[in-house]
Structures are given as C-alpha cells and as structure tokens.
Structure 1
Amino acid sequence: MESDKRGLLRHEQVKLLYDAIPLSILATLINGVVLVAVGWDMVDRMASISWLATLMVISFARLALTFFYRRTRPGLEQTGQWEIYFTIGSIAAGLVWGAAALFQFPEHSMAHQVFVAFIVGGMCAGAITSLSPLSLQLFSFLILALAPLIVRFFMVGSELANMMGEMLLLFLIMISISGLRIHRNIKQNISFRMQSEEQETLILESHLEQQAILDNAPVGIWLVGTDGRYHFVNRTFCDAIGVAEREFLDGTDPGDLLGGGEAARQWLNADRACFEQDGACHSLETLTFADKSEHLLEVTRVNIRDNTGKITGVVGISADITERHQAEERLRILSQAIEQASESIIITDKAGLIEYVNPSFTRITGYTPEEVLGEKPGVIKGAGQSPEDYERIWKTVTAESAWNSTIIACRKNGGLYPALMCIAPIRDENGQISHFVGIQQDMTTNKALEEKFMQAQKMEGIGILVAGIAHEFNNMLAGMTGNLYLAKTEVADVPSVVKHLENVENLSFRAADMIKQLLTFARKGMLVLQPFDFTLCMHAAFQVAREGMPDHISFHTEFCEEKLIVKGDCAQFQQLLINLINNACDAVEGVAEPMVCLRVEAFEADDEFMRNCPEVGDSQFVHMSVSDNGCGISDEEKAHIFEPFYSTKGVGHGTGLGLSMAYGMVQSHHGVIEVESKPGNGSVFHVYLPLLAEENADALGDEDSAVVPGKGEVILVVDDNAAVRRACSSVLKRTGYQVLEAADGFEAIELFTANQDRISLIIMDVVMPGLSGVDAVERIKALSPDVKVIFTTGYDKQEMLNSKLTSDEYPVIFKPFSIVKLSQMIRQQLDV
C-alpha cells in the first residue's frame, strides 16, 4: 500500500514536470533569441548561431516528448521511463545554458557579461517553478546552467567579475534552497491532494453504498423538511407510488404526487403532526400505489434536529403490510368461524391431548375448557362406544385418514344426544401429522326435522289418496245434483217431493264441501281467494256455533271493532271456527265451571314470532284464539294432534280429521296455527293470518237464486263421464239451449271443426283421458281464437290449468256446481 502511494506520488510529480514544459520551452526560445540578438556583435556569430540551433533542437525535442506523453497517458508502471526521458532533456537544457558562458560571454563588455548572467539567472529562476516537482532534475539544471558562468566570472579576475561570480554563487545557493522548499511544498500538496481524493473516493463509495442500501431496502424511506417538501425519497417509495425521484425533489406539491384524495391528505397531515411531537410516531395508513390498488402501510415517523436542537425535518419509514394484514384477516375470519361455528370443535396435539375447544363444545357437551384442556378426549363421557371403538378410531386417524360416523354422545349432565362426528389429522408444512381436529354436530334438531319430513311424507301420501278420489267423487255428485235439478223441475207441483229433493241436493253440496276441505288439508285443492272482513265472518260463524253449544258452558267473545281484511275463503274459516269451538266444548266436559273464549284482534309480529315462524314474511296479522279451561293436552299428544285420523276422543267421537284439515287450510292461506296447552290447565288454539292493507272488503251476499234461461244458442258439452255429460246436457236443454256432446278432447275438436259456425260456447272438463281439456282448447283456439269456454273440474292441480292458460282467461266452475251459478256464468260469457 505504501509503495503504491509512493508510485502514485512520483507519477503525479512527473506529470507536473511535463505539464510545465510548454511554458518553459517558450521562455527558453525567447530568452535564447534575445541573448543571441544582444550579443550578435560582441561574440563569434557562427558560435552563437550554433548555440542557438542546439538550444532550439533540444527545446523542440522536449516539446515533442511532452506531446507524446500527453497522447499516450502513461500509467504508473511507465512513470520511471518517462522520468528518465525528462531528466535527459533537463540535463541537456542545463548543459546548453551552461555553454552560454563559453559561446555567449563577451570578453570585453562587462555590461554584456552581466546581461548574460541576467538571462541565465532568469532561466534558473524560472526553472524553480517548472522543475521543482523533482529535486534531481531541478538541481542538475541549476548546477549545469550556473556553474560554468560562475567559473567564467571568477576566471576574468577583475574585482567586478569576482563580485558577479560571488553573487551568482549566492544566487545558486538561494534558488536551490527556494527550489527545495518549493519541491517539498509541491510534494506535500500532491500528497494532500491524493489524500483528499482518497477521502472523497471513500466518502463517495460510502455514500453510494448507503444510497444502494436505502434504495434497495424493502421499506419506503423519505425525509420531509420544515417547508413541507420532500428532501429525500428512496427508490422503493418512488417505485411504489409510481413517481420519479426528481419529481419529489423539484418542489412539486406532495399532495399531487401522492395521488390526492383523503388518503394523501391524511398522509401529509401525519408528516406535519410529527413536527409537534417528541419521539417516534407510529400509525397504520392506506396509500394508493402506482397500480391504483390500496395498500395498508405500517408507518414510523421521527423528527430530526440540528446541533442546536432545532427540528429540521421528519424521517418516515413505511412497511407494506397489506399481504400480512390480509393473511391476519383470513386467520381472524377462520378463527371467528371456528369460534362462532355451531358445531363442537376440538383440536388435540399429536399425542391426543386437547389444546383447544370452541364455545359450541361447552354449549353442546356442558364441559368448560378448563375441565378438558390438557386432557385426552376420553375424559368426556360417552355412550355407545366401547374401548375397541376408540382404538379403531385412533388407528384410522393416525393412518392419515379421516374418520366419519354418527354416534350417541353424552353430555356432562348425563343426557344423550345423536351426533355426527368427524376426526381428521392436521399436517404441518412438511406433511407430517402435528394435530388432530374433531368436529361434532348435534343432530337433535336434524332428527326432529327428519321426523317432520317423515310426517310430511305421510301427509303427502294421504293427500295423494284424497286427490285420487276427489275427481271421481265430485263427478258423481255433479251427476246427482244435475239429476236432482231435473227431478225438481218435473215435480215442481208436489212441494213435499221438492222438499225431499232439496234436502238430498243440500247433502250433496255438503259432501262436496267436505271433499273441498279434504283437498285443502292435502293442499291440493284450488282455492278461490277474495278479500273479506274476518271479524264479520267469524261473528257470523259464532252465531251458528252458539246454537249448538250446551247452555251450561259459559262463552266469552272479544271482537275487534276495526275491520280486519284478509284474503281467503270465508266459508272455510267459518267451518274452522265451528270445529275449534266444538273441540273446546268437548274439552270442558266434566269441568265444574266450563268456559270457552273467542278473541279476534289485530297482531303485529315481534322478533320472537318471526324467529319461531320464519316461513311467514308479513308482520301484520289477524289473530284469532279459541281457549278453554278444559282437560288440556299433553306434550306427547300435542306432537300428533294435527296429524290426520289422530284423535284424543273416544271411539265414535270425532273422525280425527278436524284439526288436520284446519292445519292444511291455514297453511294454504299462508298463515300459522299453534296450540298452547298443559294437562289440567286448558288449551288455547291460535290462528294467525296475513292482514291486507285494504280497508274495504267485497260484500258477502248470497248469489241470485234465479236460473237465467238460454236463447237457443248451441253449447258443446265435453266430459268423459257419461252421467255428468248427460245430466249437464239435459239441464242446459231444459234451460233453453241446444246441446252437442263430446266424450273426450279429440271428439270435441272434431265436433267444433264441423260446427264452429253454430257453436257459441264450450263447457270443457279439465281432466280427461287422451287429450285434456286445456290441450283441446289450445287446438280449438288455433281454429277460432275468439272461442268462448267455461272449464269444469272435480279436482285439478292449479299448475295444470295455469301451464298453458292464464287463470283469468277462461272462467272455471267446480263440480258439483250450482245450476243457478252455471246458468249465470253461461249468460255472462254469451252476452259479452
């Protein structure tokens, strides 16, 4: 290292020597020409010219050497070689100037001799500055140039010459001392400059290293001055924001650089706020990056001070924790999911010791975490699992397989419950089993739902049975009512016979109502819903029911004074009320002070009601309750009272269909029916129906009892039941119409095609073998789009009729139908 420094110093000294040659050559040539010119007449001209020529050759040679030096730019290893070249040149120059004492020294002119001394002395004085970088070259030139002249003056021998010789000798000594001092100063300056350059290099390298560290740091770093401007930003911060460093440092508004908006404003406010605080400021902040995405940053700011303690700026460091925050958020959600899960979750270590249980574990089993943590799952009571079962489970999960099964589990209090259990291994990052997780689902509710589903299937089976017989039964009733009408018209003059026929007719329609209720119970009937005043409807039903109640039963009623409008079938709800009152009367039999209460009121559902009845979407209801102080109903009986053919009454008392039909009817009206009862404390049946916003209901009046006669129009009657078809045809003919009959849809199309100009109306049965009435009408419409049709049905699923025809496109009349109503519907269609 030391030798390298010496070599570099020598290199710089040689460089200074060559840098000074051009100026010294110029001075040499000027002084040489002046010296020759002044002594032109005093010395031998030939010798003088030869001296000058020699001086010029040496000078141009040194100048050429300088040119090649600067052109080749030699390195440290060539320094010695070029130093030798320079030394030879300087010695040659010194010898030429020393030769001036021989060739340019006039013998007889002291003035010219002094002038020669002045010129040579001046060259030596000038050499101090040009040759001082190296002492050898300086002293060799001075001695070679001045020594011959000093000797020549002493050889003259005069007092004045001796004085000149002494002065030149003294001058040689003085300029040698000065040259040595300058040499030392130059050498020292070069050393200082080299040290300074070395320090600058080290500082620059250190700065570049620090800059590289700051730029490549995985965090954003910035410096904000008291003027609110950025004085430093590292590359990480610039790349994240998408703004070049020069834009941060050129005075641009920082708010614009950070994208503007609320996030940028809060960021700058946080920078400013740190000026007012001592110590570090920590915060979590969001900032928009170059890709327009929002990133969460963990920011630390600290103010910096000068030597006087004055705050000069704030340094900020931001770490992007977006991914970490997202990972933590996912872990939090996962943790919360486990904490909030309704299933019991246990996590054990590899040895089977419990490390974690969630809150549902305590809720389901009754064990607290303190009782089971650090223990094996065997501490939990079990039922139905033998030690062999546990051994088999352990072998399954340790073989890296999940174990699933339904079990009978046991709570801390000894209660048993069905459960679905899953145990699975948890693997670490190396794929090795580190823990086990057990998830247990309490299947008590599911078991109840399964039982309800089985009950629903049983109800569905009964519904299918009811639906299967309804169509044929209603067809038979339709045939009966039609023939009864014809019989009444034929014996109209025998009142007693007419009375008996009307009784049979009424029984037929009551039988039809019973079938309608059965269909409603099975939820397979087609309801004709219309708004009505529920209070008035129930008041009328109460009057009927009151007539049949024993006199010893005390009956209380509370009817709401305001109108309560619901949409439904008033007759069905009247039958429902009568059934509930009859059941209440049966329940209070044998009670000392029997009492039955009826209440009708408005009801606004609360949160508890909505939780218990999630299937209803309304909040405003009509609430009807029928209560008694009778024998009550046990919990076991309450689980079955809405099932068909289930009855708590003795044999011969009740069919077991009343409450089941009530349940089906309320359900079909989107309502709720509930029962509250305890043995010995009476019962309360609650019925909730959605309340309409309408204030007025259609008046419930009796239909016009007069048959509307026909005007000879041709009506096509289509029905696959011959008895119904013949009875309907006979009635229509008796009423004043002409009739064509068809036994199925295909025959109806043929008859209509042949007589479409004559046929004014079609009475079409919906359900027929081969081609249904709906499909037959569709084909007939292709022939005559304006055809008029009345559909008849003993039973049909609503969707069968609605699949191709809208419900209001053609009217529908249900079997058995009233002859009066049928005649009115026919007239309405024909008179349109």
Structure 2
Amino acid sequence: MAERKKIFEGFAILLNWEVWIVPIVLSTALIVVSFYNYLLFHTLAELFTIIVGVLMFVVAVYTHSLSRESFLMYLGIGYFWIAVLDMVHAFLYKGMGIVVSDVADHFIQFWIANRYIESLLLITAPLFLTRKIHSTGAFLAYGAIASITCIAIMGGYFPVSYIEGVGLTEFKITSEYIICFILFLALVNLYKTRQHLKPNLFPFLSTAIVLTIFAELAFTSYISAYGPANLIGHIFKLFSFWLILYSIIRLNMQEPFKDLVESENRFRKLVKEMPLSLGYVSKSGVIEDINDRFKKTFGYTHEEISTVEKWYQLAYPDEEYRQWAINVWNSDIQIAAELGQDIKSREYKVTCKNGDVRIMEISGVTVGDHILATFTDLTERKNAEAALRISDEKFRQAQKMEALGTLVGGISHDFNNMLAGMTGNLYLARKKAESIPDVVNRIKLVEKLSFQASEMIQQMLLFARKGSVEMIPFSLTPFIKEIAKVCEPLISESIKLSIHSCSDDLTVKGSATQLQQVVMNLINNAKDALGNIDAPEIKLSLERFEADEDFLSKYSNLDCTLLAHLIVSDNGMGISEKDKPHIFDPFYTTKEAGKGTGLGLAMCHGSIQSHGGVIELDSVDGDGTTFHIYLPLIEGEEIDTSSTDSLGPPLGNGELILLVDDNEVLLNTSKDLIKSLGYKVLTASNGVEAIDIFTSNSSEIALTIMDVVMPEMGGTEASKQIKAISPEANIIFSSGYDKGEMAENGTSIVLSKPYSIDQLANTLARYLLDKEGDN
C-alpha cells in the first residue's frame, strides 16, 4: 500500500503544470519555427536535447559525492555521450553543410545508432540501483562505444538506413521496432526494480521511456528529412529528455536543497529554543549570533555583544579578571587548533546584565573558522555542592559530638561517684581538723577543686548535648570584675589586661560557671597568641547593645533587641583566612601538638548557644583577634544573693534514713555524713537488699535515699516495690548521671553526685519538713 501510494503521489506531481510548461512552450515555439525554416527547427530541437544531455551529466557528476546515486550517475554518463552523437547527427543533417559527406544517410545512421545506445542505456540502468558505479570506467566505456559508432558509420561499415528518393530501408524500420521493444523491456525492468528507486522517480522515468517509444514509432513513418514524422519524433524526444532531466534535477538538486533548507530551519529552531545558552563565536572572540536561551540567561541582546571588546567588558567588568579570561580563551583556542580537538571546558564567572554573577562552564566546538560555544550555568549546582559540603561538615561535627558525648556520658557516673566519695571524706576530715586552720583551708581548696571537676564533666556533657544546666538570673557587671581577679594570676606580668565595664546592671539568665569558663578560655587563647608581640595587651569589656533589623536577620536565634555585649580582644598574631571557617569546630586547633585539644572554642560556641546568644569572630591574620559575645538581657527578675553559709547546715532529730548505694566507699562515706547531720542510718548495697530492710523497718524509716543504677535491681524498680509495700514511703534519688537524662527516663532526681554537705543537709531537712507539714 505504501509503495502504491508513493507511485500515485509521483504521478500526481507529474500531472502538475509546472512539469510540462517548459517542454510545451519550447515545442510550440519549435513548431512555429518549422513553418518558417525546417532546418532551423531541427537544429534547435537537437540543440535542446544536446544541452539537456550535457546538463544531466554535469548535475550527476557534481552531486554524486553527496547523493551517492549510482543509478543517476550512470544515466548522466550515458546521456552525455548520446548528446555527443546527437551533435554529430545535427552537424551531418541534410542542408547543414558543416561536415562534408558523400553518404546521404550518415545523419540517419547516427540517429538510429544513438537510439540503440539510448535503449541499451535505459534497460541496463536499473542494474545500478543496487550496485556501485565506477564512474571513470563507465565514462570510458560509453566513450569507446561512441567512438566505435563514429568509425563504423563514417567508414561505411554501418548498414544503410535511408535511400534518397526511396525512403527508409528495411534495416532502419526494423531497428525502430527493435528499439521500441528494448525500451518496453526497459520499462518492465524499471517497474520490477521500482522499490529501489527514490520516491516519485518511477513515474517520470517510465513516462520518459513511453515518450521515447512514441518518438521511435513516429520515425518508422519517416519519408523525408523535412517531413512531419521527423517533426513529431523530435517533439516526443524533447519531452522525453526533459522529463529525465527534470527528475535528475528534482532528486539531485531540488529535493536535497529542500531537505537542506528544512534541516537548517529545524536546526535554527532547535538552537534557538534549546535550553542551553549558545553563541556562534569567531576565533577572535566576537559573538556573531546567539540563541534565545543566551539572551534569557545573560540579559544581553545581539547588538549589545556584537564586538569582542564590548562583550568582554560586559561579561568581565573587572579588568584583571577580564584579561585572565581573554588569555585563557585564546590559549585554549590555540591548543584546540594544534591538537584538532574541541575547546576545553572551563569555568568562568560571568556578569549578567542585571549585575548577577553566574558561574558558567564555557566550552566550544570548532565549526570552520568559528566556534559554537556552549554556556552551561553551574551556579545552582555549585551552591548545592557548597550546601552539601556544609551539611556533610555538620554531619561529621555531629558525629564527633556524639562520640564525645558517648565518651563523657560513659565515665560521668563513675567519675561523679568517685568525686562524691572524695568530697564526703574531705568534709569529714575537715570536721576532724577544725582546730588546725591551715589544714582546714587546704581541705576546702581540694573540695572546691573536686566540685569544679564535676562541673567540668557537666559542661562537657552539655557541650556534647548530653547534659542540662540550671539557668538562673545574675548580673554580668560584678561577674566581669570577679573574672578579672581570677584571670590576672593566669597571664604573664608582661601582658597588659584592660577591663572596661559599663555602669549599667546587665542581668542575664544563665550559668555563671559556664560563662566563666568561656571568658577564661578566650583569655587563655589570647595569652597564647601574644607570644612574640611587642606591648602585648588583652582587653575585656562589657557594654549594653541594642540590635537593629540587619543584626537580627543575621542571627535568627536571637529573640530580643537588648543584649549584653561582651568583648575579648588581643593584639596578637590573628587567625588566618583558611582557619576562620573551622575555628569553632570540635577537635580543630591551630596550636602545636600537645598544646591544644581543639575543644576550647567549640565548648565556648556551644555554651553561648545554650544561653540563647551568639559569638562572633573578628580577626585579621597578623593583626589581632576579637571575640564578640551577645547575650539576651532580662529585666524585672529578682536575683537571690542570700547565703546560709554562716548558719551552717540544718541538722536532723534522729530520724532513720535508709541509704542504698552499690559503691561501698561512697556508701560508708555518705553514712558518716548523714550521721554527722543528726540522723540514724541503715544501709543496703542493691535494690533487693533495700526491699528486705525496708520491709523489716517500714514503720521506722522516715526517708530512703536510693541510688539509681545498681546490680541485681536498680533504684527505679526497687522504689516501685517499696511503694507497693508502703504507698506513703518517702524516697529520693541520687545519681552520678545527668539530671536531664534521668528526667527523660521518668526518674525524679533530687541529689546529683557529687553533692556538698550543705546540699545534702538542706535536701533532707526540706523533704522531711514538707512531709511533717503534710501530716
């Protein structure tokens, strides 16, 4: 069906008046001329067919390298030599007088011989629909046939075809019928091989063969060189040659050019609408053409970038960067030309018309003397990669924090238990040595250091987000003065420590211990940065600060405008640009091995964040460092400055306390401490033992102090069973774990190890007093 459709489409084209207008006009003109001068008619008719034959050859030759059509090449070569023989026929025609010949039928012999050659050409042409042609061999072969024909006719070896006054010989008439038969076989052969023909070619060639047959049949009635049969035969021949020429030109020139134009239009549309910025660039850098995406990406029109200087100035306004970009582009073009490769892809920072700077990957493909440059926008991808790197860095930091938290969390319980045993025994030793003041003072110093060690564990837990801290309101103004006193002995006498504090009472809610650790850490870092500095100086200052909209938008975690501004600065060596992004990372240190853990500034950052504040770094390599700390101010809250140290711890009235702890040293120490406070004590080393003792003494036990984590049975389970025995049982817990962590597990912690004697005494007194009041 598809094949028949193509044939019908071809015949529809054949019936188009545009196909026939030229031969009809020429034929009409030639017929008119024949009435005036028949010899002129014959000459013009033959001249037309000669020109057509040469044109077929020229078109076939010059399009063969592109079309690769062996069939049409074969026809072009054959018709070239047919045109040559037709030219000899025209020269020998009766009355021309161009070539002198004694034989009257030479021009007819050339005609009939040429028609034999034409019929053989048409019957053999389909062989080259599926075979490649050797153009030179075919040209020489037909040239040889033409030469042999000329020699045979002019040498008198060709049969007589026409006798003057008598007419055509039997050979001539029989030859016309033989030629018609060969042409008919050529038509059949062409039909059989039509599937190998280009679409629409079969109707033209088949019609041309039929017209050639009609011409030959007309010549069978040939009587006179100037007779009507000769005229009709030449008109049919004209039409036949024209159709063959038309089909060759249409398929080898018109159709390819049409396809080329359509392909070019598709390409232009594709380039124009392609979602990739393209520029057609000369090797000097002038952008001669751009697509729509280029205009949309950069905002420039073709006119705005039409010169190399203007484009470079627009794309690279910075003169130094522009020169770099020009040098790199020219170098890449030269390298690509030498190696026969495409232009290397490189990243450039290109400025758009609206001022945006985009990261572009520019590459190029050489097209003759020009370059088709592609501009790929990498800005979003680069931003995403940067964000991914930041996220990855945060993930690694979180892993480090988790590892640190696991480490500290694992040792905090045992460490706090040991500290609790130490502080308890130190208190008992201090009571025994009350008559020796110097010993008492030294014991108090060790007690203080022990509790500071516990606070350090608490801070590390908080830093690793494994702990909680109690936030209370306190004034920063006296706080700064106290820190100065503590820090003065820590720094060298050659370093000047300047303190500047405002007179306002700047109250914040937080942990004074934590903030003290932050400031001391910053001052210690400042001291280390002043090693080889002339006139070294550290400045510590405090002022009120009111945040504006820009500051609040920069730090979204701040929820108030009134802030305390704490500044720690030095005139030391400063911090390099490569170190600044990592300065608050855990385990990152710029100090020598053995002189820094990489946790100090990370803990400072975590502590300030836990206070709802921010910490900023301002430093120039070689020109000092300044840390800015901003803490939210509170107003209207009372600050408890009362102290009960002078009153001493509250004592008991012989109440019986059940003390439960698996640590033998801590159990015995705590037992002695509680006894020293005026209480009686029963002890148990685990939950099972505690239940047995409570069952036997439930009516006498006023309060149970229960450790949380113990072998055999922990404090939480033991307390449940004790409550089942006596719902009114009074139980408080003590633990070396963090309060917040235990609270998440549903446990109400009252005493955190290590606890001071005052904490223990006040807790027992307050708890027993509340219960007595309830009764």
TM-score of the superposition, structure 1-length normalised? Answer: 0.47
- Which structure is richer in relative contact order (CA contacts within 8 A, separation 6 or more)? 2
TM-score of the superposition, structure 2-length normalised? Answer: 0.50
**Greater Rg over alpha carbons, structure:** 1
